[in-house]
Structure 1
């Protein structure tokens, strides 16, 4: 009886334990769902509507995964989600960028076994080179083209390729630096894997050493400044992040010809969800090492994404090479530049009306693509608060239902934030109205 009772009570305990685990998982999943809904619906901000309690359905846009904004919404401009471009791709250009991939296509790991980047689709490489010739923002001839899952993977591949192989064994990881304000993801991505090959070493302007990898983002994220390498050393190397060096954001002053140059589809075409970037690499050995990193990391890059991106890039180039110049319907850079010019004009007017904020000065220059002198319209606004009692601008804006990214994440002070200029027209209009109303 005692033994039987023990088995029975033990079985009940085990069953209860299983139920407890299931219940715990269910509760955690439910909590996660509520958090995500509140994150984008505004329920995590005081005064936000409790949509779950009111039984409302949160319809999300198929292209962005977020509900439409209302005058009472939290406006999340923390990420550079380029939904501004949807209007362009819903027009004539979108039809030209449509692609159907047969079931038999892209089944193999390989695209070209004779290429350094053996998973690079020939059509994508061809359109990358063609687009750079059209825009004139980078020299592509004589460079190896590599493809990555976004430019972030290529950034990691570059760090791996440019670090001495014996750095880990010697206990002397390569120092990775960038001038303040630097892109907020540089420190996190550099140190995420805790590699013995390299480590984040902070501000390039205060770095004291001869061996380093300097990250040069130009135009710079977050402040839009045009940059060159700060450090000069025979044993130092530079990686040029040119994600925003396109004519809708900045004057194209020359064809860049650096050793390693990184680009991304998300900020060029607006297709962030395609998760595709490319690198132009001068040295064959560096290209091979970068490719090896991607091979070991993800065994290549989605060929379906490459086919889609190739069609998108082709539609952009065709819009200039073949289509008649009728408005901006097929000319992406003209469309985007017009949008950016209008948005920057609206934001500067709102800042002037408010009187408590400031923005960097405009940076005009002669653009070889536009063939005229134009101003720069960066994809992010580096917004500073001049109000003496405001030391945490990110928190101050959050109280007004504006989500931004604070300056501390970029190595700067808390009185400045980065604001995305690439969200939908509706979200941007609400944001500008709120800025103008702050006194």
Structure 2
């Protein structure tokens, strides 16, 4: 018998065996509804099988074969949080969200001239209130709704509205590290004399008024957040784009002065560019509306009408689920899909020692009426050991991510989108396993 090459040591053989086992485990998780599934996954597979909108299994073996026979040259872009994962659900919903807009509709700038937010479509406002009441994630009574072109425009509108326009110096804008990577550029891009980025909320020590951005669940690390600075002259903006049941337990109805939500992360319709703010103070709502008026002279009525239909369909699915023979709700479907993806990712990460992930606690979700897991829209992945620049390391393996430096954190971290298509996500899981083993 020929001798094994010297480079093929016992350690290499063990690692190769581990890689094969991990690949088999991942395949069983992803194709759990097939016969012969490991008994340890039977409970999970029964949950998936109960869904009336079952996620069609994509052959992990096929994606592996493709990746290892030339697919390693494919670039997997998980830098952006493009929520294409949700496309499967909405395709299966058929024409339930289809709308027809006659040519004469939406001609006027005005939706309701008597309203503070005069370009807010009443139908959209109604469905926003209904959805929050169904999910139980925000108080809507006594709030003014301001619609924006995504939550990005609303963030700028909030900074404009909360600033003192007569102050000699711009107000400081802070957020706790790791903060959303766009906050610094949003605050400083136009070099406004009203507000200025002042960095990490944990180290902020400047006297006077300030605006703190509180993102919860946090982008990028997924943890629940509260305000950090907590001084008398502080003004808070709660960015709750991810406070929905598929990402985190809904444990209370948010009751803050100014909260932001967006269609892109709640239902996956990022292309609509629709977000909304719930604002207690009438004057702040008026100033936010004025900013949007100056910025874009309102928000597309067509997008609002389509968003209203989507939100209505989501709320309907939640209410119909409880009726006999009702289809599984959007949020339960999405929760199971996120649960599956996080199981795959943790299995891949745990197969070696190059990477690590944050740990999250479970909690009771008032909407799902069960113990629920935190399973964020982004994975905050850390490269362990001697890998100092995780983004560059993964880019070398043709995986595009966003460096922790852009979030004010260490370059040993990267943010990875969990919301991409099934094919891209499975190629990522396979490639991560190959890198480790």
Q: 2:349, 2:435 → 1: CA distance? A: 9
Q: 1:328, 1:391 → 2: CA distance? A: 51
Q: Structure 1 residue runs of 4+, over 3 Å off?
A: 322-330
1:235 Cα deviation after fit? 1.0
- From 338, 341, 344, the equivalent of 1:343 is 341
Q: 1:326, 1:424 → 2: CA distance? A: 32
- From 235, 238, 241, the equivalent of 1:240 is 238
Q: 1:187, 1:421 → 2: CA distance? A: 24
Q: 1:273, 1:301 → 2: CA distance? A: 14
Q: 1:325 to 1:424 in 2, by over 3 A?
A: farther
Q: 1:384, 1:256 → 2: CA distance? A: 31
CA contact (8 A) 1:328 1:334 kept: no
Q: TM-score, normalised by structure 1?
A: 0.82
Q: 1:242, 1:323 → 2: CA distance? A: 25
Question: What is residue 378 of structure 2 aligned with on the other side?
Answer: 380
Q: 1:276, 1:327 → 2: CA distance? A: 32
CA contact (8 A) 1:77 1:403 kept: yes
Q: Deviations over 1:17-42 (max 9, x none)?
A: xxxxxxxxxxxxxxxxxxxxxxxxxx
Residue pairs, 1:35-434, within 5 angstroms: 71=67, 72=71, 73-92=74-93, 94-167=94-167, 170=168, 172-209=169-206, 210-322=208-320, 331-388=329-386, 390-434=387-431
| Further displaced range: 284-293 or 324-333 | 324-333
1:387 Cα deviation after fit? 2.4
SS at the partner of 2:351? helix
Q: Which of structures 1 and 2 has the larger relative contact order (alpha carbons within 8 angstroms, sep 6+)?
A: 2
CA contact (8 A) 1:354 1:437 kept: no
1:325 Cα deviation after fit? 5.9
Q: 2:200, 2:189 → 1: CA distance? A: 18
Q: 1:326, 1:189 → 2: CA distance? A: 48
1:323 Cα deviation after fit? 5.3
1:362 Cα deviation after fit? 2.1
Taking only aligned residues, the RMSD between alpha carbons, in angstroms, comes to 1.4
1:324 Cα deviation after fit? 5.9
Q: 2:237, 2:364 → 1: CA distance? A: 25
CA contact (8 A) 2:321 2:327 kept: no
SS at the partner of 2:191? coil
CA contact (8 A) 2:223 2:360 kept: no
1:197 Cα deviation after fit? 0.3
Aligned residues: 366
Q: 1:325 to 1:184 in 2, by over 3 A?
A: farther
Q: TM-score, normalised by structure 2?
A: 0.82
| Further displaced range: 399-408 or 69-78 | 69-78
CA contact (8 A) 1:151 1:278 kept: yes
SS at the partner of 2:202? helix
